[in-house]
């Protein structure tokens, strides 16, 4: 049951829905009654995307195209901007393969864009890191109000590899950004961060699954969310420590602010542990803005809207600060600030 399978077979019954445990809060089956026609091929100047100026190699994919293949071989950090756009409605499925060779370094700045038309888009990324390789992935997802987007990255790490990810999104009609990582332990290091900033009736789902398969792996995960109006944020994190994957250190944190009585946050932080010499923890908090902090700031003469914006910026800022690539971090910061303006 995947969107990709449904698009391939043109069969709506293949869509995942409420009855699939991993999709209970992101129901596609109930939403999509009929799959739209395949998207028209796009002619004209492709949109540049937010990261185009930072990259040695900007890649644009509009309404899907041939599979994208990126291979990084140099130990010097290499910056690629990969921009997916859905224009003019319809349905399409894009794929990309990213390989980082031994000891090579890659910075992948990925972005999504959709126009005001209704579309159904599927993105499948396969990311492989060879031993000692390093990849930082920053995702900015700006789907259209009527856009349905599912992006799934399958990440395979090797010994001593380092993978860091930050996914920032403002949602869509239904949007899911999913990351599945196989983690060999063996000194490999993983960071999975994200933030969702939702308003109106938007929906965003950040789902991750990490399989720790070997001794001595670390995972750090931090996801923050701000939901307003009638929006809905979903966080599903699953960390699996397989038998024998001792000395795993895994930490997961999810925190969300609900700023309206019609907004909703659903969370499922899961730990599945089959080894005993591990240290795993998760924390999950959901609540409103701290009234006392707000009061304190207003007392100091800061008007309420600014005080709120400041508190939210500080709240989400923790995720932004962890982006290592400085120019991308600044773009991310501005992107977030724009979406927190009241």
- Using CB under 8 A as the binding rule, the residues of this chain from 2 to 21 that contact other proteins are 21
User: Do the Cβ atoms of 271 and 242 come closer than 8 Å?
Assistant: no
Q: Which is nearer to other proteins, 189 or 242 (CB)?
A: 242
Q: Which is nearer to other proteins, 114 or 194 (CB)?
A: 194
- Least separation, in Å, of the C-beta of 32 and other proteins? 23
In the list 45, 66, 76, 261, the residue contacting other proteins (rule: CB under 8 A) is 261
**Token code pair at residue 89:** 């409605």
Q: In angstroms, rounded to a whole number, what is the distance separating the alpha carbons of residues 221 and 120?
A: 29
Q: In angstroms, rounded to a whole number, what is the distance separating the alpha carbons of residues 323 and 168?
A: 11
- Using CB under 8 A as the binding rule, the residues of this chain from 20 to 49 that contact other proteins are 21
- Least separation, in Å, of the C-beta of 167 and other proteins? 20
- Least separation, in Å, of the C-beta of 223 and other proteins? 13
265: contact with other proteins by CB under 8 A: yes
Burial of residue 163 (CB within 10 Å: 0-12, 13-18, 19+) is buried
In the list 9, 69, 116, 262, the residue contacting other proteins (rule: CB under 8 A) is 262
Q: Is 165 helix (H, G, I), strand (E, B) or coil?
A: strand
Count of positions on this chain that bind other proteins (CB under 8 A): 36
Q: Which is nearer to other proteins, 30 or 283 (CB)?
A: 283
Q: Is 299 helix (H, G, I), strand (E, B) or coil?
A: helix
- Using CB under 8 A as the binding rule, the residues of this chain from 269 to 288 that contact other proteins are 269-288
In the list 180, 268, 298, 333, the residue contacting other proteins (rule: CB under 8 A) is 268
Q: Is 79 helix (H, G, I), strand (E, B) or coil?
A: strand
Q: In angstroms, rounded to a whole number, what is the distance separating the alpha carbons of residues 78 and 104?
A: 9
Other CB atoms within a 10 A radius of the CB of residue 290 amount to: 12
Q: In angstroms, rounded to a whole number, what is the distance separating the alpha carbons of residues 300 and 311?
A: 14
- Least separation, in Å, of the C-beta of 141 and other proteins? 23
**Token code pair at residue 59:** 């890649």
Q: Which is nearer to other proteins, 186 or 259 (CB)?
A: 259
Q: Which is nearer to other proteins, 24 or 329 (CB)?
A: 24
Q: Which is nearer to other proteins, 76 or 276 (CB)?
A: 276
- Using CB under 8 A as the binding rule, the residues of this chain from 239 to 258 that contact other proteins are 243-244, 246, 256, 258
Q: Which of 61, 131, 74, 60 is nearest to 106 (CA)?
A: 74
Q: Which positions from 158 to 197 touch other proteins by CB under 8 A, shown as an x/- string?
A: ----------------------------------------
Q: In angstroms, rounded to a whole number, what is the distance separating the alpha carbons of residues 98 and 106?
A: 10
Q: Which phi and psi angles does 44 have, rounded to 5°?
A: 120, -175
Q: Which phi and psi angles does 61 have, rounded to 5°?
A: -125, 115
229: contact with other proteins by CB under 8 A: no
Residues in contact with other proteins by the rule CB under 8 A: 21, 243-244, 246, 256, 258-288
């Amino acid at each position: 049951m995947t969107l990709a399978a449904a698009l391939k077979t043109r069969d709506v019954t293949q869509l995942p829905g409420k009855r699939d445990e991993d999709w209970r809060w992101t129901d596609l089956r109930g939403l999509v009654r009929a799959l739209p026609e395949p998207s028209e091929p796009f002619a004209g100047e492709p949109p540049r995307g937010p990261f185009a100026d930072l990259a040695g190699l900007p890649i644009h994919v509009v309404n899907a195209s041939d599979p994208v293949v990126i291979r990084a071989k140099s130990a010097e950090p290499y910056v690629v901007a990969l921009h997916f756009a859905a224009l003019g409605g319809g349905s399409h499925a894009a794929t990309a393969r990213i390989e980082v060779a031994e000891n090579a370094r890659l910075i992948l700045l990925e972005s999504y864009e959709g126009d005001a038309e209704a579309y159904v888009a599927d993105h499948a990324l396969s990311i492989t890191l060879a031993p000692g390789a390093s990849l930082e992935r920053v995702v900015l997802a700006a789907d259209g109000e009527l856009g349905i987007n599912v992006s799934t990255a399958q990440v395979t790490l090797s010994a001593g590899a380092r993978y860091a990810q930050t996914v920032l999104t403002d949602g869509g009609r239904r949007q899911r950004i999913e990351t599945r990582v196989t983690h060999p332990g063996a000194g490999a290091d993983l960071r999975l961060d994200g933030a969702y900033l939702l308003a109106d009736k938007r929906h965003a789902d950040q789902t991750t699954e990490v399989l720790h398969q070997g001794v001595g792996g670390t995972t750090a995960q931090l996801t923050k969310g701000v939901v307003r109006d009638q929006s809905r944020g979903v966080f599903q994190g699953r960390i699996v420590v397989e038998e024998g994957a001792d000395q795993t250190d895994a930490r997961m944190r999810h925190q969300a602010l609900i700023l309206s009585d019609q907004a909703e946050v659903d969370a499922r932080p899961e730990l599945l542990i089959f080894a005993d010499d591990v240290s795993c923890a998760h924390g999950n908090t959901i609540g409103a803005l701290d009234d006392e902090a707000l009061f304190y700031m207003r007392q100091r003469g800061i008007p309420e809207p600014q005080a709120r914006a400041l508190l939210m910026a500080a709240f989400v800022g923790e995720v932004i600060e962890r982006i290592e690539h400085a120019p991308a971090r600044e773009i991310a910061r501005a992107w977030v600030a724009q979406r927190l303006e009241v």
